[in-house]
Amino acid sequence: MVKSKTYSIEELELKADDIRQDIIRMLEHVGSGHSAGPLGLADIFTALYFGILKHDFTKPNWDQRDILLLSNGHCAPVLYATMANAGYFEKKELLTLRQFGSRLQGHPERTKLPGLESTSGPLGCGLSQGCGMALAMNMNKDTHRWVYVVTGDGELDEGNIWEAAMLAGKYKLGNLIAIIDRNNIQIDGPTEAVMPLEDLSDKWESFGWHVIEIDGNNIEAVIDASAMARAITEKPTAIIAHTVPGKGVDFMEYDFTWHGKPPDHEQAKKALNELRTLKGKIRSEHE
């Protein structure tokens, strides 16, 4: 929507809570999928769809829309849940996740669902596609449009990411904004044990990027960082968003074993109860 409604931070936090509950319901229903990453990203996706992106769910191919790419496709549940809350499709369709015939494939497939900008899953490819899109916008003299690429942090192990980082720096793609979900976990354990990424900020800066570090579970911080990134026109911006994996569900937070599994019925019940009584809790942490 062309910003037809401006939400208050409190309203956005309630939306993020709804999106978290939808994520738990879908994962429990299908009994398959990733829990920790999508919950950790709920605030970033809420900020993007309800506070940042220029988009219109009635015209997913609108030629003036901002672009959002989810490079770490395994976090699809947060994308789907946010899109449903934003009006792209009815929320009841969320329960078809990963099932035969569903438009909500296990990893996002552009050709299946209007509103998806690309197909992703195999890691490390989103930033390059974002570069191609940003370059195309520049060729078209298409100003006032931005490309956002959400990537995981474990995903930064992929060489393809750094090939893209170099290219974006070379071409000074000020219309490209990477949001790195810095939750410090990947499948085999903590990122710094599997393959150290630090000093991550220095790495991006040395590739010619402007870097902003934020608390990625603070919606206001995400919106502010995006505004700052848009003001930096001479280089691409990397927002290193520190998030808590499993955020909002106490027994999932910080536990890397929740990377790739769904909650069972009892766990989902517990998680939903917690989220229902959460209202404002995540905000209060930031004050």
Q: Does 130 bind another protein (CB under 8 A)?
A: yes
Residues 107-126 touching another protein, rule: CB under 8 A, are 109-111, 117-122, 124-125
Tokens of 81: 């849940």
Q: How far is the CB of 195 from another protein (least distance, A)?
A: 18
Q: Does 151 bind another protein (CB under 8 A)?
A: no
Question: Which is nearer to another protein, 166 or 193 (by Cβ)?
Answer: 166
Stretch binding another protein (CB under 8 A), from 48-56, 129-137, 237-245, 256-264:
129-137
Q: How far is the CB of 113 from another protein (least distance, A)?
A: 13
Number of residues that bind another protein (CB under 8 A): 31
Q: Does 263 bind another protein (CB under 8 A)?
A: no
Stretch binding another protein (CB under 8 A), from 22-30, 164-172, 180-188, 263-271:
164-172
Phi then psi for residue 16, to 5 deg, are -60, -35
Q: Does 275 bind another protein (CB under 8 A)?
A: no
Question: Which is nearer to another protein, 48 or 161 (by Cβ)?
Answer: 161
Q: Does 64 bind another protein (CB under 8 A)?
A: no
Residues with Cβ within 8 Å of 129's Cβ and at least 6 positions away in sequence, in order, are 69, 118, 149
Kindly write down the DSSP assignment for every residue of 55-101, as one continuous string: --TT-TT-TT--EEEESSGGGHHHHHHHHHHTTSS-GGGGGGTTSTT
Rounded to whole angstroms, the Cα distance separating 196 from 212 reads 20
Rounded to whole angstroms, the Cα distance separating 196 from 190 reads 9
Q: How far is the CB of 124 from another protein (least distance, A)?
A: 8
Cβ contacts of 109-117, under 8 Å, gap ≥ 24: 113/88, 113/89, 114/60, 114/61, 114/88, 115/57, 115/60, 115/83, 115/88, 116/79, 117/67, 117/68, 117/69
Q: How far is the CB of 176 from another protein (least distance, A)?
A: 10
Stretch binding another protein (CB under 8 A), from 34-42, 87-95, 106-114, 247-255:
106-114
Angstrom distances, CA of residue 218 to CA of 42, 46, 89, 152, 222 = 10, 10, 26, 17, 6
Q: Does 129 bind another protein (CB under 8 A)?
A: yes
Question: Which is nearer to another protein, 127 or 197 (by Cβ)?
Answer: 127
Q: How far is the CB of 220 from another protein (least distance, A)?
A: 30
Cis peptide before 199 (omega within 30 of 0): yes
Question: Which is nearer to another protein, 69 or 78 (by Cβ)?
Answer: 69
Rounded to whole angstroms, the Cα distance separating 255 from 258 reads 6
Tokens of 280: 């404002």
Rounded to whole angstroms, the Cα distance separating 33 from 260 reads 6
Stretch binding another protein (CB under 8 A), from 13-21, 91-99, 133-141, 186-194:
133-141
Binding site for another protein (CB under 8 A): 109-111, 117-122, 124-125, 128-137, 139-140, 159-160, 163-164, 166-167, 170-171
